[in-house]
Amino acid sequence: MQKFDVIVVGGGMVGASVALSLAEQGLTIAVIEKQQPSHVDDSAPYNLRVSAISLGSEQLLKQLDVWQHIVSQRHAPYRKLAIWESDYSYTEFDAASISQPHLGHIIENHVIQHAIWQKLSGHNNVQLFVGESVTALVQDNKQCNIQLSNSEHMSAKLLLAADGAHSTIRQLANIGTTGWDYQQSAMLINVETEYEQQDITWQYMTPQGPRAFLPLQHNQASLVWYDSPDKIKQLLSLNNQQLTDAVEATFPSRLGKVSVIDKGAFPLTRRHANRYSQGRVVLLGDAAHTINPLAGQGVNIGFKDVKALVEHIVSAIAEGKPWDNKDVLKGYERARRTDNLLMMSAMDAFYFGFKHPSGVVKLLRNAGLAIANKAPVIKEQALKYACGL
């Protein structure tokens, strides 16, 4: 049986970053991931899965010394964020208001994952197990023991679950969740655009759901179309020209002319684990929480989980205390659970508020946006929080 300090299950953006962070602290790490990250090819079409990486997440990736590799690939910085339902409620946030050069970057998920894996694969404290999954978990007061799909056994002081919304580890550890389905789906549409790369990301709110624009490099963009599952299913059945016509008929005129390149969709769900640790099992990222993607906060709050857990472990090591004990894990949960719940609830309030059909509610929400647009202190604080600063 192989023994490690920490086993990380899930080598996506969050799992890979926590593995690298802890390896840099001298801990021995095993990373179990079903699929090797895809090779980054700048000549290939953009992948549908992109993330809006906040300033806070950028800081973490710089600390891991992978940011320069990431931005040497395709990325699109944005300086402004806009939201509106009607012309008089148009609200725009600008990086200059918080003395920053940008608010974030739109980057393909696999670009971020590949950059972290390149450093992981050459790290002396890391061993990668690709193509494997966990089939059994037993833990006691001293360690976690797991069995892999190839029947291999290994143990560690901590088992970190970063294996996504349908986390196997969360289920094996008997950690329940609360949440609901939003009865909506989000369609991702990669398009070629009339305009050159823009420095703004925006959301136009409609009763059916938002229409969102994410800038990509050159004359390309990622669009997000929120709607009922039936509507999204119907849109998926269209050919690219038909979908192009539907986009131009539905999205704001500021989008300009577009041509659809690729499309995909996923249902919207909210899930929150009842606890973030059980014994020596710890949840991070989507294994702990899935959030409405309205403001692109999913991976960013996952990176916040990484920061908090690593800070608590490093603090214990510096003080000569056991870094794997219950107090450390509870400290991590206290640091993240309330903050995550606040962000999830804020996104839900925003989402449901704009879906409410009442004319009075519509008047109030548009008045609220108009007022917020003229309240610089409120805008700045909200922007700093969203950026992870």
Q: Tens-digit pLDDT profile for the chain (389 aa)?
A: 899 999 999 999 999 999 999 999 999 999 999 998 888 788 889 999 999 999 999 999 999 999 999 999 999 999 999 988 877 778 888 998 888 999 999 999 999 999 999 999 999 999 999 999 999 999 988 999 999 999 999 999 999 999 999 999 999 999 999 988 888 899 999 999 999 889 999 999 888 889 999 999 999 999 999 999 999 999 999 999 999 999 999 999 999 999 999 999 999 888 999 999 999 999 999 999 998 776 667 799 999 999 999 999 999 999 999 999 999 999 999 999 999 998 888 777 766 665 655 554 455 555 555 555 555 665 567 677 677 77
Cα separation values, 377 from 84, 97, 385, Å: 19, 9, 12
Pair of tokens at residue 335: 């640091």
Domains observed in the chain: 2-77+104-179+270-354 (3.50.50.60), 182-266 (3.30.9.10)
Sign of the CA dihedral running 282, 22, 64, 114? negative
Is residue 108 within 8 Å of 74, Cβ to Cβ?
A: yes
Pair of tokens at residue 199: 């420095």
CA distance 194 to 165: 36
Quick one: which H or E segment has residue 203?
strand 200-204
Pair of tokens at residue 97: 């208001």
In this structure, how many other beta carbons lie within 10 angstroms of the beta carbon of residue 160? Answer: 31
Quick one: which H or E segment has residue 281?
strand 281-283
Partners of residue 93 on adjacent β-strands: 81
In this structure, how many other beta carbons lie within 10 angstroms of the beta carbon of residue 219? Answer: 15
Burial class (CB in 10 A: 0-12, 13-18, 19+), 338: exposed
Do the strands 258-273 and 289-290 form a parallel or antiparallel pair, or are they unpaired? antiparallel
Pair of tokens at residue 143: 């360690």
Partners of residue 146 on adjacent β-strands: 137, 154
- For 267, list phi and psi in degrees, rounded to 5: -75, 150
